[in-house]
Structure 1
Amino acid sequence: MHTTLTDHARCLYGDEYRPTPPCDRQHDEDSFLEELTFADADAIWVMLRELCPSLVDGHLPVRIRNLAYRLVLLQRPDEPELMREAAGSLYSHGPDWDDIAVDLERRADALDDVRSTTMRRMPDRA
């Protein structure tokens, strides 16, 4: 039996890097999607990192990977690194989502610009 979102995904889809753990449950994508939908950002992030460490690898279906990034971005809308990673994943799976990837990169750049401007304006504290 799995105890994490990553274990559930590994059981359902397999893992390119580790053997699928033994499990006495029957799996269906609907129960996984429900768990994914209500998972916190950290659990989703861990799943993506473990099962798709190089963005273009892993056995997660593209639709699941896209949904996972979308759910993490909804929970963490102000993280440029995450936006760029999601954009990279979208680029790697065909041109259908390139416009969304470009928008994510643009938003990440804007957040970086705001942060760097804010840092320049902050007075030095000695």
Structure 2
Amino acid sequence: MHSTLTERARCLYGDEYRPTPPRCSADHDERHFIEELTFADAESILAMLRELCPHVVDGLLPVWVRNLAYRLVLLQCPDEPALLREAAQNLWLHGPDWDDIAADLTRRAEVLEASRTGTYHRSKAIQ
């Protein structure tokens, strides 16, 4: 049994940078992994993404798992500009179906940063 989300993902999907361990149990399937991912905290999800996909374009996690993982992180941390941009970058690299969502995430990051520094202009929000 694995003690972290990262270990479970590595066992299920493999790791581009480390040997893939053999499947360790009968309940180690995608359904159980997605259940664990769904209720994981943002730190655990980010640790998995950053360890298994350190350069965004690499890694063996399926794109749909990456998209879901970023969505779950953003639901937990909606006001983090760096995470919004990281999620947007992932969508752009694995799009183009999600380019409009990636652009919206980038705009949200800009709005958040500008509101924190007091440099946001309403005319820019309308664009």
Q: TM-score, normalised to structure 2's length?
A: 0.89
Gaps of 5+ in 2: 120-127
Q: Which residue in the other structure is 1:123 paired with? A: none
1:20: Cα distance to partner?
1.9
Contact 2:16 2:60 in 1 (8 A): yes
Distance 2:102 2:73 in 1: 15
> Which residues of 2 match residues 1-126 of structure 1 at below 5 A?
1-26=1-26, 27-117=28-118
Residue 42 of structure 1: CA displacement? 0.4
Q: CA deviation at 1:22?
A: 4.5
Q: State the aligned residue count.
A: 118
Paired AA for residue 31 in structure 1:
H
Q: Deviations over 1:32-77 (max 9, x none)?
A: 0000000000000100000010011000000000000000000000
TM-score (norm 1): 0.90
> What RMSD in Å do the two structures reach over aligned CA positions?
1.2
Q: Which of these two proteins has the greater Rg computed from alpha carbons? A: 1
| C-alpha contact (below 8 Å) 2:12/2:23 kept by paired residues | no
Letter in 2 for 1:72: V
Instruction: Work out the percentage of aligned pairs sharing the same amino acid.
Output: 70
Moved more, 18-27 or 94-103: 18-27
